[in-house]
Structure 1
Amino acid sequence: MSSVIEQAVQARLVASAPRMESVPATLRYDSRDPFAVSMSFPAPATLEGADVSWAFSRDLLVKGLDDAAGLGDVRVRPYGYDRTVLEFHAPQGTAMVHVRTSDVRRFLDRSQRLVPAGREHLHLDLDADLAQLMRDAH
């Protein structure tokens, strides 16, 4: 079984103008980093013109489906009937996207089947992480 789950989603970019542009995005989960998820945007969808990926806690995404969650660079909250808002805060500004809540739930269900909540610690390779840390220290 693969240790990585990727799911394409359509994100609606919220701008100061009333129009909302649809952009492709990818939600990703890797059991080798069991507490985290990421959301990536291709270069044409970003202000910098380069691929951008944001990593944040899987638990933040779960909590943000039902109530506002997050205080830092990534914030998640429900919006309307079947939308979830993800806010990405950077020194260059804030990007806000709407995604279908059903797509996020499907992604999270798949990640939970791979690594159930509360069992993430069983997927950590602390020996390898410590060895990498020691290599990086030299």
Structure 2
Amino acid sequence: MTGKDFTFQQLFLRLAISVTMLSAVADRFGFWGDNSAWGNWENFEKYTRQLTFFLPETLSTFSAYGATFLEILFPLMLILGFKIKIAAYGTGFLLLAFALSMSIALGIKAPLDYSVWVGSAAAFLLATLDKFPLSIDELLSKNN
């Protein structure tokens, strides 16, 4: 997308994706209290095992830790505006993997209800933008 200033839209998209993902991480550590879906790490691991039923338990547990790490890393990169394209593509693929796993394990309704497909598509759309005002990437490009 070129020719138009998408400053607000790309910043809003970066923040919306980031806050959504960080909220899910906060949930698995019980920070949402009574409004939690999982409420604690053990419940999140159990849910991850349900979504990754096709993996050995060790890999399922590893995927819970790996997903959590990426669900912290990518949003922080997007908020700071550092390596946005990498973070956006990573987020898109991560959410696509979640959507596919949820669809297979739980049926199509679950990823639709939680807008996982929309989040994935939004991240891929963000990755197609050429400029990222209000970002570290923009500051670094000006210095080169």
**TM-score between the two structures when normalised by the length of structure 1:** 0.30
Please state which structure has a larger fraction of its residues in strand.
1
* Bigger relative CO (Cα 8 Å, ≥ 6 apart): 2
Please state which structure has a larger fraction of its residues in helix.
2
